[in-house]
A = this chain, B = another copy of it.
Amino acid sequence: MNTRLTWITLLIATQAFATGSQPTAPETAGNSQRVGNAAQAAALSTEVAVEKGGPYDRVYHPENLPSMEDGKHFPDTWTSLGANPAHNAAFELTSGAPAWLSHGVEWKFAEARSWPLDRKEAFDNPVYGERRGPSTQTQFYGNAVGVSIANGVVYAESDDQFAYAVNARTGKLIWRTSPVGNTLMGTPVVAQGKVFLSAGNVGFNFSNVTRFAKTKTAARGEGISFNGIYALSAKTGELLWHYGTDGEAMPTAAFSNGKIYITTGDGYAQAIDTQTGKPVWKTELHGMANMSSPSIVDSKMYVAMSSPGGVFCLDATSGKVLWKSNIQGAEDTGIGDVSPAVSNGVVVMDAVADAKQENGKTTMDTRIVTYDARTGKILWQASMGRGAKPPAFKGGVPMIHDGVVYVGTPVNNVIQAYDLKSGQKKWTWQVPDASAAGSGRGAPTYYKGALYVSTGEYLYALNPSSGALIHKYHVGGRFGIVNPVIIGGTIYLSNSWDWLLAVPLSKVNPTAKS
C-alpha cells in the first residue's frame, strides 16, 4: 500500500551564499551582495518531503473558489503585514459591489489545531501558566498575526504547519497545504497570482545557545527545522518554488516590484525574484529577525532586527544600507519585534525600553520613535507608559491614518493616538479586558470614522478622535499580533486558538457605515 507514492517536483535556485561569509562593505552598516549571473543560471530539481495522500498533502476544493463577480470587488494583491506600509488593512467597497459585501458575513473556520473558542485558558494552561500558556499557543498552535485577502479569498499562515485559502463569502476551504514542517507565523503575501509564505519559528538549537553565551550573537532557526520562502499558486495552493534560508524566516515578507523581501534569523535582509525564486541580493544586518516585517516605500526597505537591535533603511534595488538607527534604552528583542509603519515620509517604530528591576520584578516602558524616512533623523519620541515585562512578542504594531499614529502596547495594555507630525499625544485608551499575557499588540484599523482593535477575546470599536469606546464584541479565544482586516461590511481575523473568523462590522460597531 505504501509504495505507490509520488512527490511534487519543482525547481529551486541554487543558493550561492556561503554560511557566515562576511564580505567587506565599508560604506554601509551592513554587507550587501549582488548575486552574479552564474549563480542565477544554476538551478536544481528538488522535491517536498510530503507523503502523497497523507495528512500534510495539499487538498484543493475548486468548487469553493469565489465567483468572478465576488472576487473583483476585493483588492487583487496583498503586499505586506497590514496590507500596506501604513498598516491600515481597510478597503472600501468599489461601486456595484454585491449586497453581501456591504451587509457583511459571519463564519468561523476551524484550522488543524483549533481549540474551542469558548475556552478562556490556553491548552495546558495549568502547566504553563496564564502568561506563558497563551503565548505558547500563539507561537506554536494558532495564527500569530492576521490574514490577507485578495480576489475574494482569505489567506492565512498558521503555526499548525498549514497555510489556508478560504472563500471570503462562505468560509469554505479552497485549499490547505503544508510544504514545510515548520511554523508559519506570518501573513501570506499575495501578488502576481502567487502566495508567498515565510517559514520559521522562535527556537534556537543548543549550538546557538552556547554561541550566544560566548559572542552575544546567534543564528535563530539554524538547525531548527527547514526555513525559507514558499511560493504557491494563489488559486490552487500548488508549490511553485521555495527558497531555503539558514536562519528562520518568521516575519511576514513584503512584495514590491517583482521581488519578495525578507529578513532571517541569521541576520540577513534578502530580496528574491518572484518569478524564478532566485536571490537578487543579500545584505548582512547582523542580529536576527524577530517578528518585524519589512515595509517597502519608494524603493526603500524599512525593517528592524534584534540582538543587536536596530532600525534599518535599505535601498530595495541594491540591498545597500542607507541608514541605521535605534531606540534609546530599547530591549533589543523588543525593537526587532515591531514592524515599522511608514507614511508621509515618516517611519514610526516602537520598542519596550528602559527596563527596571523593582522588588524582584521587571518593569518596562514602551518608547515610540519617529524617523525621517529619507535620512533616519529622529523627528520626535514619546513614552507610552510603564508596566510589567510582557511575554513573547513585546511591542505593538503601529498604524498610520490621515496624519495620526495609532499604536498599542502589551506593557500597560493601552492604545494611544499621536499626531504624526508633532508627536502630540491625542488620547490613551485602556484595554478593559486585558489578559495576563498583555494586550494591544496588533495594529488597529481605521475604517469610515471608527477605529477597530482586536485584542484578547474581543473586538473593539473606538472613536478615533477621542479614544472613547463605541462598542465591544466578544469573539472568544485570543488575538495575538492581529490587525482587523476590513472589507466593506466584514472584519476578517485569525487568532491564537487556530481559527479564521469573519465578523460583521455591524456587530462590532452598531453605528458603522460599511
- Chain B minimum-CB-distance residue to A121: B46
B223–A135 CB distance below 8 A: yes
Is A333 positioned at the interface, with any CB of B under 8 Å from its CB? yes
B108–A2 CB distance below 8 A: yes
List which A160-175 residues lie within 8 A (CB) of chain B: 160-162, 171-173
Is A308 positioned at the interface, with any CB of B under 8 Å from its CB? no
B181–A126 CB distance below 8 A: no
* CB 8 Å contact bits of A109-153 with B (1 = contact, 0 = none): 111111110010001101111001001110111000000000000
Residues of B within 8 A of A19 (CB): 129
A116–B203 CB distance below 8 A: no
B202–A205 CB distance below 8 A: yes
* CB 8 Å contact bits of A224-247 with B (1 = contact, 0 = none): 111010000000000000001110
Binds B, one of A47-55, A312-320, A378-386, A410-418: A47-55
A127-B245, A223-B139, A226-B140 known; A113 vs B51 contact (CB < 8 Å): yes
A107–B246 CB distance below 8 A: no
B224–A176 CB distance below 8 A: no
Residues of B within 8 A of A206 (CB): 202, 204, 220, 307, 333
Is A429 positioned at the interface, with any CB of B under 8 Å from its CB? no
CA gap between A59 and B207 in the complex, in Å: 38
A56–B54 CB distance below 8 A: no
Chain A contact surface mostly: loop
Is A208 positioned at the interface, with any CB of B under 8 Å from its CB? yes
B181–A113 CB distance below 8 A: yes
B205–A51 CB distance below 8 A: no
How many residues of A are counted as interface, with CB atoms below 8 angstroms from the partner's CB atoms?
Answer: 82
* CB 8 Å contact bits of A161-203 with B (1 = contact, 0 = none): 1100000000111001010011000000000000000000111
CA gap between A201 and B140 in the complex, in Å: 12
Is A7 positioned at the interface, with any CB of B under 8 Å from its CB? yes
Is A1 positioned at the interface, with any CB of B under 8 Å from its CB? yes
Q: How distant is A179 from chain B, measured CB to nearest CB, in Å?
A: 10
B226–A126 CB distance below 8 A: no
Binds B, one of A90-98, A209-217, A479-487: A209-217
A136–B226 CB distance below 8 A: yes
B111–A51 CB distance below 8 A: yes
A56-B112, A224-B140 known; A124 vs B244 contact (CB < 8 Å): yes
A160–B181 CB distance below 8 A: yes
- Chain B minimum-CB-distance residue to A17: B127
CA gap between A5 and B107 in the complex, in Å: 14
Q: How distant is A231 from chain B, measured CB to nearest CB, in Å?
A: 15
Residues of B within 8 A of A226 (CB): 123-124, 127-128, 136, 140-141
Is A65 positioned at the interface, with any CB of B under 8 Å from its CB? no
CA gap between A224 and B51 in the complex, in Å: 26
Residues of B within 8 A of A139 (CB): 223
A116-B7, A136-B226, A206-B333 known; A128 vs B55 contact (CB < 8 Å): no
Residue A213 contacts which of B107, B213, B246 (CB distance < 8 angstroms)? B213
8 shortest interchain CB distances as A-B pairs? A203-B203, A127-B244, A55-B55, A213-B213, A140-B225, A49-B115, A124-B244, A54-B112
Give 23 pairs: A residue, B residue, CB < 8 Å, sorted on A: A1-B171, A46-B124, A47-B123, A48-B123, A49-B141, A50-B113, A51-B112, A51-B114, A54-B112, A124-B226, A128-B226, A128-B246, A132-B223, A141-B181, A141-B225, A161-B181, A202-B203, A203-B205, A204-B206, A206-B220, A212-B212, A213-B216, A223-B391
